[in-house]
């Protein structure tokens, strides 16, 4: 079940106005939300916080999120404060020419548990029981962009259950898992640093996910000079391709990344809105990994 909210262009003013908005669920029920009550105690660091993609964009929750978590709505989502100087992060340290190899050097065992938890939140908490969404006429396709070599699709029983239900699981990256025998998943080797087009037809993917990758493109966009008016920054080209390959009606996408500043999150959401003006979704701040910092997810649906 998707929950749809409509926010007017003067959304920031809602923080000081005591007004009630109508929240219409697709099932037909109507709930009244008082925005004066949406800002609960800031000490609730483990609460899931949700905000619209943009000031004029309909807010749509992931179909399973309200079934698994208590959701707190805000008009503006703050980006978690970075610990230490941001230039120490891997995407800043390595040169853009080595972006693919340096990114995969972070695919170490110590990060495997973190990545698995991020996938688990995206698949289980947000999208729910996907295995029941397969129908008899067609199998669904789940695409993992920048899947990496150690934990594609989260490396848990979730992927196995999807495959047993007839799903096609497709991974896309420059460095892929080594498969000694027949692979349950299918992979396409593709460099994502200077991407122009994903090697997939338009509208063939039902669900797309990208975990811990967009920050590399955001750094490239901030350090690279685009002299040509027709040349789009890497992040805009990537987002446009993610939207293009999604099913035109009902295609879902979840992006998780590490923004350096609030502007990074705005850039991603603005690129989504530009790629498809009718796109809906939300920004999510959550702590999916115990005793770790809060993470940023972006959910969108066509």
Given a cut of 50, whether residue 25 has pLDDT beyond it is: no
- The answer to whether the CB of 203 falls within 8 A of the CB of 186 is no
Q: pLDDT grade, residue 27 (50/70/90)?
A: very low
Looking at residue 43, its pLDDT comes to 38
Q: What is the SS3 assignment for the chain?
A: CCEEECCCCCHHHHHCCCCEEEEEECCCCEEEEEHHHCCCCCCCCCCEEEEECCCCCCEECCCCHHHHCCEEECCCCCCCCCCCCHHHCHHHHCCHHHHHHHHHCCCCHHHHHHHHHHHHHHHHHHHCCHHHHCCCCCCCEEEEECCCCCCHHHCCHHHHHHHHCCCEEEEEECCCCCCCCCCCCEEEECCCCCCCCCCCCCCCECEEEEECCHHHHHHHHHHCCCCCCCCCCHHHHHHHHHHHCECCCCCEEEEEECCCCHHHHHHHHHHHHHHCCCCEEEEEEECCCCCCCCEEEEEEEC
pTM equals: 0.76
Through-space distance between the first and last CA atoms of the chain, rounded to whole angstroms: 15
All structural domains of the chain with their residue ranges: 86-267
Looking at residue 162, its pLDDT comes to 81
More confident residue, 120 or 177: 120
Looking at residue 116, its pLDDT comes to 87
Given a cut of 90, whether residue 99 has pLDDT beyond it is: no
- The answer to whether the CB of 172 falls within 8 A of the CB of 146 is yes
Q: Whole-number mean pLDDT of the chain? A: 74
Looking at residue 36, its pLDDT comes to 36
- The answer to whether the CB of 302 falls within 8 A of the CB of 251 is yes
Q: What are phi and psi of 163, to 5 degrees?
A: -65, -35
More confident residue, 19 or 91: 91
Q: Mean pLDDT over residues 220-231, rounded?
A: 52
Q: pLDDT grade, residue 24 (50/70/90)?
A: very low
What's the CA gap between 264 and 101, in Å, rounded?
A: 23
Looking at residue 204, its pLDDT comes to 94
Q: What's the pLDDT tens digit per position in 121-154?
A: 998 889 876 766 655 556 789 999 988 887 788 8
More confident residue, 12 or 83: 83
Looking at residue 16, its pLDDT comes to 29
Given a cut of 50, whether residue 28 has pLDDT beyond it is: no
Given a cut of 90, whether residue 186 has pLDDT beyond it is: no
| CATH classification number, 86-267, choose in 3.40.50, 1.10.20, 3.40.1350, 3.30.1180 | 3.40.50
Given a cut of 50, whether residue 8 has pLDDT beyond it is: no
What's the CA gap between 7 and 160, in Å, rounded?
A: 39
Looking at residue 100, its pLDDT comes to 53
């Amino acid at each position: 079940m998707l929950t749809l909210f409509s926010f007017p262009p003067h959304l920031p003013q809602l923080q000081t106005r005591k007004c009630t908005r109508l929240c219409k669920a697709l099932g037909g029920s109507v709930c009244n939300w008082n925005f004066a009550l949406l800002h609960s105690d800031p000490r609730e660091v483990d609460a899931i916080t949700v905000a619209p993609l943009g000031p004029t964009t309909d807010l749509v929750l992931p179909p399973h999120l309200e079934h698994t978590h208590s959701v707190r709505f805000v008009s503006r989502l703050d980006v978690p404060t970075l610990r230490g100087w941001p230039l120490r992060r891997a995407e800043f340290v390595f040169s853009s020419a080595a972006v693919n190899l340096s990114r995969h050097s972070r695919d170490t065992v110590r990060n495997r548990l973190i990545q698995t938890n991020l996938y688990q939140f995206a698949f289980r908490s947000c999208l729910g029981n996907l295995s029941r969404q397969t129908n008899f006429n067609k199998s669904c396709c789940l695409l993992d962009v920048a899947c990496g070599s150690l934990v594609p699709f989260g490396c848990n029983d979730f992927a196995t259950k999807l495959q047993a239900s007839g799903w096609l699981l497709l991974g896309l990256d420059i460095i892929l898992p080594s498969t000694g025998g027949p692979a349950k998943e299918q992979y396409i080797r593709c460099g994502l640093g200077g991407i122009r087009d994903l090697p997939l037809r338009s509208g063939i993917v039902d669900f797309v996910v990208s975990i811990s990758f967009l920050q590399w493109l955001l750094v490239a966009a901030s350090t690279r000079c685009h002299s040509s008016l027709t040349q789009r920054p890497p992040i805009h080209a990537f987002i446009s391709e993610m939207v293009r390959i999604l099913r035109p009606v009902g295609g879902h996408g979840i992006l998780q990344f590490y923004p350096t500043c609030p502007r990074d999150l705005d850039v991603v959401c603005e690129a989504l809105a530009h790629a498809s003006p009718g796109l809906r979704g939300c920004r999510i701040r959550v702590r999916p990994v115990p005793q770790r910092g809060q993470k940023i997810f972006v959910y969108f649906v066509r």
